[in-house]
Each structure stands twice: as structure tokens, then as C-alpha cells.
Structure 1
Amino acid sequence: MKFSAIVALCAAPLALAGVLKAEVVPRKNDDSIQFVGGGGGGSKSSGKSSGSVVIQENIINEVIIIWVNNGGDATTQTVNSASAVNSAAGVAQTHTVVVGGSAGLVYTPNTINAAIGDMVIFTFMSMNHTATQSAFATPCEKLAGGMDSGFMANINNTVVPPPQMAMQVNVSTPIWFYCRQAGHCGKGMTFSINPTAAKTQAMFEQMAIAQNGTGTAAVIAGGTAAAGTATAAAASTATAAAAAAPP
């Protein structure tokens, strides 16, 4: 009897250890699965997983990338699902913006008014441009957490059909973009959505030239950029207005 009791007492801690081990291991595996999924695993239809792909470039979510196509025979890659629109404006509109090409270093048009839910499709022409989000006061600096198309090469317009990227507008406030190809923003290659009287596209372009260019606007045929020379005084006025106005 005494020997049996001793054996039972010795076996109990071993059995308990086995139970504890069985409980700990699955919890660790669950955490690992959740961590990997949050970092980009899982289905793209999941809100978390699609965000993990895009949020690093687009944390602010004033706009969200819906799909991207590199042109030619490339397959369209869906990044996020478009949100349903429920507004007084009714059905969402689609705005087409041509980037570069025969018009020169310009977005055509260089400004639009878009409602929440509207789609903007960038068509990238020659040579190699981006659509990169910035702040109003710093036109040629990438906005932390903002949207960035990355470089969409189309040398001499040889990619047919051209590369495109679609994004959906999530706010009614102003949103600002520029091309981050070397030297392009400094020549006024900027774009805006919903500019205001206090913060205009012309002011944004002038600050881009003053801060990063030669101080004179590039001559661009066929664009809608503001005509004339961007003087230092105009840029200073725009900068002061930017400091006084809300973002």
C-alpha cells in the first residue's frame, strides 16, 4: 500500500505538468496565427489583412487605393473593396486624371472637386511618375501615413494600355498630391482634391516651386497649372496662410 501511494504521488505532478503543457502550447499557436494574419496574412477581403497591406502607405485613409494595374498585359490587382456611398449627392462619380505624357510635368486636370465615395483613376503616361500625398505647407514631402502610388514607369508611352491606379475619396476636406520623381515637384507637378479659397491649387503649386524649384514656373503646354511666375512673396503669403489655416 505504501509503495502504491508513493507511486501515485510521484505520478500526479507529471500528469499535471502534461495538462499545463497542453494548455500553453495551443495559446502560443493562436497568438502566432493572429500575429501573422495581422501582418499581412489571410484573405485580402478581410479588413485587417487588406489594411496591413496598404496601411503602411496609407494610414491616414483620406483616400484608399482600390486597384492597381501596371499596364500592358498586367493583371489588375485589387487592394481594397470600394465603400458603399450613402450621401445626398447620390451615385459616386469617377474622375480621370492623366499624369504626365504629352502635356508635360503636370496632372491633367491638376485639381478636382470630389465627394465622399468618388473614385479617382490616375493614368500614368510618359515618363515615370507617382501620385504621392503630401501636406499643403510642404508640397514636395511625402506625408507620413499618406497614399503613394509608387513609380509607374511608361517610357515614351510604350506601355499600352498605360498603367493605372484607382483610389476612393473618404473625406470632403482638401487632399494634396505631387510627383516625387526627382525635380518634378519643383517644377510645379502637383495635384489637389477639394482645394478651398484659403488653400488653393495655385498656392500649393507656387510653394512647390519656391521650396524645391528655381522660383519660376515651368512652361507646360496643355496643362491647367496657374500661369505666370511664382514669386517669393506669393510663396511666403501661401506659407503664412498654411500656418494660419487648419490642415
Structure 2
Amino acid sequence: MRFSVAAAALLSAAASVKAASFSVIVGFNDTLTFNPANLTGVADGDTVAFQFASKNHSVVQSTFAAPCTAAGVSSGFQNVSDPNGATFPTWTLTVENATAPLWFFCSQVTATSTHCQAGMVFAINPTAEKSFDAFQQAAIATNATSPAGQNPSGSIVSGTAGATDAALSVSGSTSAPTATAASGSSGTGTSAPASSSSAAANGASQLMSGNSISILAVAGLVAGLVL
């Protein structure tokens, strides 16, 4: 009986090692939106895959105080030439600190305005004090002058993000998921990346090996109990 209880507890611990995955569609239905517009309940180690569905958009980290000013990681611009195509570029990030909200915007500029000023913003774990609606209204009211760079960037967010904005890191570069992955449901797709940097590949590998090591360790403990 003691073995059954211990084994169940160990297997439960192994299952908890696996982080959750979320999907967000950028340019949903050819609109200047993120879908969903915000995520709640995202925990440390969870991943968010941004799937670019139309036009030429980007995902750039900002702050609640300055919604349309770059202050962190950036996907770079991801152009979608055929919104009816079979594959779409994807940019995935891993949340390293979910204790404070994360804020993002599209840095694309038009002849008269910006996508951010059109309300194309996104948030992870907004709060009652710092709500998504307040963030979006601040973006619409802002006078953004310079867009973020077009090159993807990652690693830990610099100190300019502010103490009230959490840090995250890029876990992979752009890839081409299947069209069915762009459904807004949890998951990152199964297709292989079309291109990746060595740093991004190592990050994904480390994440996978970390889970594998944890599961193997649990398996060893269970085997020890059997013996």
C-alpha cells in the first residue's frame, strides 16, 4: 500500500514537470488584433507561441507605462504573403517570471499611424490594478514615434523594462506550424522549424532534456521502491 501511494506521488510530480503551452494568433482574420488579446494563469516555464496569420506584424515587449515603446524581446517583423496558405511563421517565448504582468505590441507603422495606436497590443497575466483594457486604451492614446527594430531578439529583458514588468526569454526562432495549429487553443504545433538559430535550438534542447532527466529520475525512484 505504501508503495502504491509513493509511486502515485512520484508519478504526479513527474507530470507536473511539463510546462503548459499557449497559442496566440497575430493578425487574426486579417485584423489588427492578437487572439486572444491576453492570457491569464500563465506560470513560470510556460511557453507562448505567437502564430502570424496575416500582413506583416511583430511582437515586441513594452511596459504598462509606455505601451508602444520597445523595452524587451522582439520577434522582428514576420510577413505573411498568403493568409490562405498552409503554413504560418511562429515565434515562441518562455516565461521565466510570471509574478508580474508582461506587455506586448505590434511595432508596424502605417502612413498615418501605428498598429499599436490602433490597439494592437497583448498582455500576459494582467491584473485588476493593471488591466488589459487600461493598457490598450493607453496604447491608443499614445504618440509613438519610433518602431522597434525588425531583428528578433531574446534573452533576459534589460533593466529598462522596469521592476514591475516580468522577464522572459526566447526559446526558439520562427518556424512554420501547420494551419490547424492556428486555432487559438493550447499547443505549439508539431512541424519542424523552417529556420532556427543555434542559441534557440539549444534552448529548446535544454528544455526537453530537463523534462527527460526529471522523468528518468522519477522512474529510478519508482524502480528503487519496487526493489
| Shorter-chain TM-score range | 0.5 to 0.7
Work out the number of aligned pairs and report it. 129
Alpha-carbon separation, structure 2, partners of 1:181 and 1:198:
28
Alpha-carbon separation, structure 2, partners of 1:210 and 1:102:
25
The amino acid across from 2:54 in the alignment is: S
Identity, % of aligned pairs? Answer: 40
Shift of 1:126: 0.8
Distance 1:157 1:199, change over 3 A: same
Q: Which residue of 2 aligns with 1:167?
A: 93
Aligned partner of 1:117 among 45, 52, 57: 45
CA contact (8 A) 1:101 1:127 kept: no
Q: Could you tell me which runs of 5 or more consecutive residues in structure 2 were left unpaired when the two chains were aligned.
A: 1-12, 145-162, 166-227
Aligned to 1:205, the other structure's residue is in SS state helix
Aligned partner of 1:99 among 16, 26, 41: 26
TM-score between both structures, scaled by the size of structure 1: 0.48
Alpha-carbon separation, structure 2, partners of 1:158 and 1:128:
14
Alpha-carbon separation, structure 1, partners of 2:14 and 2:140:
37
Alpha-carbon separation, structure 2, partners of 1:87 and 1:180:
40
Aligned to 2:19, the other structure's residue is in SS state coil
Aligned to 1:140, the other structure's residue is in SS state coil
The amino acid across from 2:73 in the alignment is: M
Please say if 1:148 is aligned against 2:79: no
Q: Which residue of 2 aligns with 1:189?
A: 120
* Structure 1 segments (4+ residues) deviating >4 Å: 86-90
CA contact (8 A) 1:98 1:125 kept: yes
Q: Which residue of 2 aligns with 1:178?
A: 105
Alpha-carbon separation, structure 1, partners of 2:143 and 2:27:
19
The amino acid across from 1:96 in the alignment is: S
Shift of 1:158: 5.3
Aligned to 1:155, the other structure's residue is in SS state coil
1:96-131 Cα distance to aligned partner (Å, 9 max, x none): 000003151000001002100101001001100001
CA contact (8 A) 2:30 2:53 kept: no
Distance 1:210 1:136, change over 3 A: same
Q: Could you tell me which runs of 5 or more consecutive residues in structure 1 were left unpaired when the two chains were aligned.
A: 1-85, 214-244
Aligned to 1:197, the other structure's residue is in SS state coil
TM-score between both structures, scaled by the size of structure 2: 0.53
Aligned to 2:142, the other structure's residue is in SS state helix
Alpha-carbon separation, structure 2, partners of 1:170 and 1:88:
19
CA contact (8 A) 2:28 2:34 kept: no
1:110-161 Cα distance to aligned partner (Å, 9 max, x none): 1002100101001001100001000111111111xx1100000003415531
Q: Equivalent residues in 2 for 1:44-83 (5 A)?
A: none
Distance 1:101 1:109, change over 3 A: closer
The amino acid across from 1:198 in the alignment is: E
Larger radius of gyration: 1
The amino acid across from 1:97 in the alignment is: V
Alpha-carbon separation, structure 2, partners of 1:190 and 1:159:
25
Shift of 1:212: 3.5
The amino acid across from 1:128 in the alignment is: N
